[in-house]
């Protein structure tokens, strides 16, 4: 059993530490229990509706919450805010080409902008899109353009007790069966996420990606990556596939991307900025159509909803994100929190994924029905206890089936503690672990929630609840 302080580098006896020091600080807000009771009631027991000034440690998401480096802040001053042909666009395009290997780049305001354009470009009504588990905005855009989404992730991804090392893998038999059933010409592309967010930040192996490429190539089906956390995925490949043990993350990433035809990217994750995204492709026809569509939804094809300075900061952030020392410390912090929870027997998804700890809310509250929203309840309880903000990833996030109108009942009912990149210290992780332990100790007295307001689209963002009992 490695000690808490060495698990970032299991073979090394010395502690790991962040590969940076802190140059600017931002004060945190502390609240009383009474203030938190009022705040969470005002927010309809939905952590998305809290004001951030009422939050102490914010683990809602790792999206756009990154701390930028001094080099990135310096890059902000190099913004070329020309409407057309900004220098920063060409720098970003060159960076994506060199780091990810894709030929053409269409910038967007964030990842969902890229998903919208990719889906509108490739999907026609009646199409089928397979993916290794769904992501909320990704599936929304696929369905909005008339496709049916098919989950082809391996069964282990849905099993919180499985410690399979590549739970993000595509189940090749499921994919092949789907191709036989609906025919290849009805599948505009396979959507491969790396890592798989909804499974708990679980990686997909290089062998699996290569095999998906071989299978789809036989049928002439392209692959588009959801590359938001593909650099994190590359670290897992380096650690878990002995063939890549000595290979730099940057090289692993490039090989991984070489099996895809393009990617959608949320700049708010791996690329270490606060806003932005892009669609990239090697296909000149897709590029032509996407470059044309982007002017309707995002902006001209050389800014796509981003300021020049944002594109420059992203270009610098992408280079920083593929450094081995950065990625080891990023995931090392997530693992540190996980090891503390593990010592106290708290149920969460294993193995520990890339961007957070996914608490198993069903195991916290076995006495609650899924329609009493266990994961939403746990997020509210954690906030009440400590001011720590988490997010529901369960029945609320899964939404309703567009055909039957019933709740989709996902197997996974999780509360996500997502760790922002380079923002919090190890002491903050100690405080978080203690708050989760307190909620675990109080678990039997918890009664659940009922939904009193339900928005039509992506309901988890704005739904409101009331306590039961």
Ligand X SMILES: *Cc1c(COP(=O)(O)O)cnc(C)c1O
Separation CA 132–CA 198 (nearest Å)? 10
Find the shortest distance in angstroms from Cβ 277 to ligand X: 5
User: Which residue, 270 or 320, is less far from ligand X as judged by CB?
Assistant: 270
Nearer to ligand X, 84 or 296 (CB): 296
Catalytic residues: 83, 135-136, 226, 269, 393, 460
Cβ of residue 63: shortest distance to ligand X, in angstroms? 5
Q: Rank residues 69 and 197 by Cβ distance to ligand X and give the closer one.
A: 197
E strand residue ranges, 248-319: 262-266, 277-281
Nearer to ligand X, 112 or 328 (CB): 112
| E strands in 69-202 | 104-108, 128-131, 148-151, 190-193
Dihedral, 30, 33, 36, 40 alpha carbons, nearest 10: 150
CB of 195 to ligand X, least distance (A): 8
For residue 150, give the nearest of 132, 173, 126 by alpha carbon.
132
Nearer to ligand X, 204 or 340 (CB): 204
The continuous run of DSSP H or E covering 332 comes out as: helix 324-343
Closest CA to 225 of 306, 280, 276, 178: 280
Contact 419, 355 (CB under 8 A): yes
What CA dihedral angle connects 359, 364, 366 and 369, to 10 degrees? -60
Minimal CB distance residue for ligand X:
111
Shortest spacing between CB 6 and ligand X, in angstroms = 29
Q: What are phi and psi of 33, to 5 degrees?
A: -55, -40
Q: Which residues contribute to the site for ligand X (CB under 6 A)?
A: 63, 110-112, 135, 137-138, 193, 197, 226, 228, 266, 268-269, 277
| Least distance from ligand X to the Cβ atom of residue 45, Å | 23
Least Cβ distance, residue 31 to ligand X (angstroms): 27
Torsion sign (Cα): 435, 163, 237, 205: negative
How far from chain centre, in Å, is Cα 134?
11
CA separation, residue 11 to residues 2, 166, 237, 238, 350 (Å): 9, 21, 17, 14, 21
CB-nearer residue toward ligand X: 118 or 340: 118
């Amino acid at each position: 059993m490695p000690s808490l302080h060495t698990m970032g580098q299991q073979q090394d006896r010395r502690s790991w530490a962040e590969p940076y020091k802190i140059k600017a600080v931002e004060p945190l807000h502390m609240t009383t229990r009474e203030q938190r009771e009022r705040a969470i009631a005002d927010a309809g027991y939905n952590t998305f509706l809290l004001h951030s000034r009422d939050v102490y440690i914010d683990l809602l998401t790792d999206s756009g919450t990154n701390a930028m480096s001094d080099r990135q802040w310096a890059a902000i001053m190099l913004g070329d805010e020309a409407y057309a042909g900004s220098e920063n666009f060409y720098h970003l395009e060159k960076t994506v080409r060199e780091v990810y290997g894709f030929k053409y780049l269409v910038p967007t305001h964030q990842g969902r902008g890229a998903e919208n354009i990719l889906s509108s470009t490739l999907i026609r009504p009646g199409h089928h899109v397979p993916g290794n588990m769904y992501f909320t905005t990704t599936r929304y855009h696929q369905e909005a353009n008339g496709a049916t989404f098919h989950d082809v992730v391996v069964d282990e991804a849905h099993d919180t007790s499985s410690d399979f090392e590549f739970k993000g893998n595509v189940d090749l038999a499921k994919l092949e069966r789907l191709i036989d059933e609906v025919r290849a010409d009805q599948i505009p592309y396979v959507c491969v996420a790396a890592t798989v967010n909804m499974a708990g930040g679980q990686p997909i192996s290089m062998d699996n990606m290569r095999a998906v490429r071989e299978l789809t190539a036989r049928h002439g089906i392209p692959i588009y990556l959801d590359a938001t956390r593909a650099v994190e995925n590359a670290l897992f490949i380096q650690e878990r596939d002995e063939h890549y043990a000595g290979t730099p993350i940057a090289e692993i990433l490039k090989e991984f991307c070489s099996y895809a035809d393009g990617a959608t990217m949320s700049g708010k994750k791996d690329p270490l900025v606060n806003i932005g995204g892009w669609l990239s492709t090697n296909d000149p026809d897709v590029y032509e159509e996407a470059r044309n569509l982007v002017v309707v939804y995002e902006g001209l094809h050389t800014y796509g909803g981003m300021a020049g300075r944002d594109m420059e900061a992203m270009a610098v952030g992408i280079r920083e994100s593929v450094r081995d020392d950065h990625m080891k410390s990023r995931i090392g912090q997530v693992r540190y929190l996980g090891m503390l929870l593990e010592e106290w027997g708290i149920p969460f998804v294993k193995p520990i994924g890339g961007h957070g700890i996914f608490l198993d809310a069903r195991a916290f509250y076995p006495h609650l029905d899924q329609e009493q929203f266990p994961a939403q309840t746990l997020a509210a309880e954690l906030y009440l206890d400590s001011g720590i903000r988490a997010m529901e990833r369960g029945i609320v996030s899964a939404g309703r089936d567009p055909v039957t109108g019933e709740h989709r009942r996902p197997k996974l009912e999780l509360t996500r503690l997502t760790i922002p990149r380079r923002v919090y210290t190890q002491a903050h992780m100690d405080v978080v672990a203690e708050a989760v332990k307190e909620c675990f100790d109080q678990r039997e007295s918890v009664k659940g929630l009922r939904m009193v307001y339900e928005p039509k689209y992506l309901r988890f963002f704005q739904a409101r609840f009331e306590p039961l009992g």
